[in-house]
A and B are shown apart, each in its own frame.
Chain A
């Protein structure tokens, strides 16, 4: 079975940094694009960023709200996805989900359970 398990969330002060991880299992991780999607408390879904699979050069895309502050990376040898978050703002407070995106069809066919990031002083 496909499993995605996020970790690394917690409380951080504005201006601080945090690194989220997503451990993948049950599928060939290196063959898939991987995304981060977040959801602020009581709000809707917001796409954060994507890293493409190795065949497409591990290239990345970002939402304007996080570009220059967040970095998506992956380690295919560890079946792991990462989100490095720097210069955090209170508006980055959200549950962060990792999601699998198969090639050649729609994205986000499997999601992790999410990890909560709270940015507050």
Chain B
């Protein structure tokens, strides 16, 4: 199975900060990488697919980059509604796997 790791596991930031979350895959997954946002008590929400394609309706302060085994999610200017847990996910190979998540909370 492809193992996905994320760093950091959590971070504290302020509104307006630039935040970058890193995701690493244990094998080459090309650009078959997605990012999801989840708030407490809610279903996950798709943000980015194919490593850098923004999901329809997702604000442009979110961006993704990377290929192969190293990827990142950047929030250019943190807004109050962006405080949540973020998961990366590989869909190159079955079984599909998720990273453990990165919790972004308010400093």
Contact B43 A44 (CB under 8 A): no
A-binding segment of B14-22, B65-73, B74-82, B87-95? B87-95
Q: Scoring A residues 77 to 121 as 1 if CB is less than 8 Å from chain B, else 0, what string do you get? A: 000000000000000000001000000011111111110000000
Residues of A within 8 A of B87 (CB): 44-45
Q: What is the size, in residues, of chain B's interface with A at 8 Å between Cβ atoms? A: 25
Q: Does B7 contact A (CB under 8 A)?
A: no
Contact A106 B101 (CB under 8 A): no
Contact A111 B95 (CB under 8 A): no
With A44-B87, A45-B87, A97-B44 in contact, is A106–B53 under 8 Å at CB?
A: yes
A64–B43 Cα distance when bound, in Å, is 23
Contact A44 B91 (CB under 8 A): no
| A64-B95, A107-B34, A107-B91 known, 19 other contacts, Cβ within 8 Å | A44-B87, A44-B98, A45-B36, A45-B89, A45-B101, A46-B98, A47-B97, A62-B95, A64-B1, A106-B49, A106-B50, A107-B49, A107-B89, A107-B96, A108-B36, A108-B89, A109-B49, A111-B44, A112-B43
Q: Which residues of A contact B (CB under 8 A)?
A: 35, 37, 44-47, 50, 61-64, 97, 105-114
4 closest Cβ contacts across the A-B interface? A106-B49, A47-B96, A111-B43, A106-B34
- For this complex, 13 residue pairs linking A to B, each with C-beta atoms less than 8 Å apart, are A37-B44, A44-B87, A45-B87, A45-B89, A45-B101, A47-B95, A50-B94, A105-B49, A106-B48, A106-B49, A106-B50, A107-B89, A110-B46
Q: Which residues of B contact A (CB under 8 A)?
A: 1, 32, 34, 36, 38, 43-46, 48-50, 53, 55, 87, 89, 91, 94-101
